[in-house]
Amino acid sequence: MNTGVKIAAFATALAATFGTAYGVGQGVGPVVAEERPAAEHGEHEGAKPEKGEKRSAEKADAAAPETPGGLQVSTGGYALALETPRVKAGDRTELRFSVKDDAGRNVTAYRREHGKELHFIVASRDLTVYRHLHPTRAADGTWSTPAELPAAGGYRVFADFKPSKQGADGVTLGADLAVGGDFEPAALPPVKATAEVDGYEVTLAGGLRSGAARELKLSVAKDGKAVTDLQPYLGAYGHLVALRSGDLAYLHVHPNGEPGDGVTEPGPEVSFTATAPSSGAYRLFLDFRHEGKVRNVAFTVHASGADGAAEPDKAPDKAEKGGKGESGDHAH
């Protein structure tokens, strides 16, 4: 996983990337030639510093903030190649892509995380449409997944994965997707403490802060009663992804605890820890599984600044209803 709100990161650029992630390999894992190590800092930045400048240059490099995940189509020797950059709103189509190494070859070996080799997220630029999809990988390294996007406009796709190289950090790459049709931009949904979908009500407690880890607690209830038998989904009782409004910096947040650890209860509460890369508005997307079905709810939150000053909370009393932001394609 990469950067963003490493929420369980938001903890690196939301400070860790959320992901959820997905994209399952088919068990065919052709061997790839050994990948070259990532370039040293400054390798492509021109002349090296003189002797007297070396210490200050290293200091500045160490202090440089990490770029949130999903903002780059290429980083660390990997690049996302989206083969279907344009689709039509409302049509069920197949999204195809591959991850290239620094030699231009399709990557065919990944390390599994939460049971998947790669997590694939699609979100509209206005953050009203969200899909957590499960692509499959062909032997040649090409990934594909069916998708139906209901609204026209600009979208961003995210490939969240860990290279097979032992000890390698997670990588999140992003690319633009254009969805054709009549386009009417929507405002960012307002801040609300609760969200509803299919008779479930999820309540959010806690918040985000720039540069400091904060806990987010999400409690699930159905028909007014606490849900205490959540089912594991990709190895956890909940998966959280955060996207920063404006540039869609991606944060894949891991839950605190996991099924079977002897401590974590199967609901009603799912807890995450995240660090926002900056103050501002974020959209949180939670996936949870109950009674054999995966559901998704979304929240808008405002991250406070490093000084702890938060933006005004304009949350109405009503719960946000599940709608275009509902996670799609959870059929395995």
Looking at residue 6, its pLDDT comes to 36
Percent of all residues in the chain with a pLDDT value above 90, rounded to a whole number: 64
Indicate the pTM of the whole model. 0.75
pLDDT at 84 over 80: yes
Least Cα distance to 151 among 90, 87, 85, 93 occurs for 90
Looking at residue 305, its pLDDT comes to 85
**Helix, strand or coil for residue 248?**
coil
pLDDT band at 22; cut points 50, 70, 90:
very low
Distance of CA 269 to the CA centre of its chain: 21
Q: Are 238 and 286 in contact (CB under 8 A)?
A: yes
Q: Are 237 and 230 in contact (CB under 8 A)?
A: yes
pLDDT band at 226; cut points 50, 70, 90:
very high
CATH fold label, 5-30+65-180: Immunoglobulin-like (2.60.40)
pLDDT tens, 86-143? 999 999 999 999 999 999 999 999 999 878 999 999 999 999 999 999 999 999 999 9
Q: Does domain 194-321 have CATH number 2.60.40.1930?
A: yes
128: number of CA atoms within 13 Å, CB side?
16
Q: Residue ranges of the domains in the chain?
A: 5-30+65-180, 194-321
pLDDT tens, 52-75? 444 433 433 333 346 789 999 999
21 contacts: CB under 8 Å, gap ≥ 6:
1, 113, 114, 116, 118, 119, 120, 121, 132, 160, 161, 234, 239, 252
pLDDT band at 182; cut points 50, 70, 90:
very high
pLDDT band at 240; cut points 50, 70, 90:
very high
Token pair, residue 255, equals 């839950």
pLDDT band at 331; cut points 50, 70, 90:
very low
> E strand or H helix at 62, and its extent?
helix 51-63
Q: Give 235 or 192, the one with higher predicted confidence.
A: 192
Q: Which of 63-77, 195-209, 310-324 has the lowest mean pLDDT?
A: 310-324
Residue with tokens 């989206």: 82
Q: Say yes or no: do domains 5-30+65-180 and 194-321 share a fold.
A: yes
